[in-house]
């Protein structure tokens, strides 16, 4: 959730730089996010294959800071979306347009986990799944840190 790095798909528009002071959707990143979600959920690609595919097609998927995308980059993209329209950036809370909904977030977590099981094989450790599936935002809502209407 929090931190100094914006979730993939968003761009900060600081007032001092002439912006609105809001966090806006980066349409190009949003398109990349939705494409990679499709690769994960419908083509069942692993995070490594997704990273490789992004790196192979640099004209269609230009890296933000010119870096190579790794499995961890893809993993970070998938586990930190603002699926409830809230995010924390540099100590401040922002309302943002969600790029995906909570149900999609859950499907992504399940696919990532299935992925991990396929490549590393821990068929017995089902308890890992439960911990892994939680949306941090919902978890906070449940523990009463947030007072959400729904």
- Check residue 48 for interaction with Zn ion (CB under 5 A): no
Q: Which residue minimizes CB distance to Zn ion?
A: 135
Look up residue 44 and give its DSSP letter: -
H/E element, 87:
strand 86-89
Using CB under 5 A as the binding criterion, the count of chain residues that bind Zn ion stands at 4
The minimum distance between CB 143 and Zn ion, in angstroms, equals 13
Non-local CB neighbours of 144 within 8 Å, separated by 6+ positions: none
Task: Report the length, in residues, of the chain.
Answer: 150
- Check residue 69 for interaction with Zn ion (CB under 5 A): no
Chain centroid to Cα 81, Å, comes to 3
The minimum distance between CB 137 and Zn ion, in angstroms, equals 5
The minimum distance between CB 109 and Zn ion, in angstroms, equals 10
Q: In this chain, which stretch among 11-19, 61-69, 117-125, 127-135 interacts with Zn ion, using CB under 5 A?
A: 127-135
Non-local CB neighbours of 58 within 8 Å, separated by 6+ positions: none
Q: In this chain, which stretch among 11-19, 33-41, 97-105, 120-128 interacts with Zn ion, using CB under 5 A?
A: 97-105
- Check residue 138 for interaction with Zn ion (CB under 5 A): yes
- DSSP-derived 3-state class of residue 105: helix
Among 102, 107, 113, 140, binds Zn ion (CB under 5 A): 102
Burial of 144 (0-12, 13-18, 19+ CB in 10 A): exposed
Residue with smaller CB distance to Zn ion, 19 or 146: 146
Contacts with Zn ion by CB under 5 A lie at 102, 135, 137-138
């Amino acid at each position: 959730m929090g931190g100094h790095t914006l979730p993939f798909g968003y761009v900060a528009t600081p007032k001092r730089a002439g912006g609105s002071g809001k966090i806006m959707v980066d349409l190009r990143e949003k398109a990349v996010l939705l494409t990679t979600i499709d690769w994960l959920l419908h083509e069942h690609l692993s995070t490594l294959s997704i990273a490789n595919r992004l790196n192979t097609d640099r004209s269609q998927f230009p890296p933000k800071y010119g870096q190579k995308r790794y499995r961890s980059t893809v993993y970070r993209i998938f586990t930190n979306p603002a699926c409830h329209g809230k995010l924390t950036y540099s100590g401040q809370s922002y309302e943002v347009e969600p790029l995906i909904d909570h149900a999609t977030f859950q499907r992504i977590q399940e696919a990532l986990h299935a992925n991990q099981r396929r490549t590393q094989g821990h068929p017995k450790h089902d308890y890992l799944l439960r911990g892994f599936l939680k949306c941090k935002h919902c978890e906070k809502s449940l523990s009463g840190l947030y007072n959400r209407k729904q």
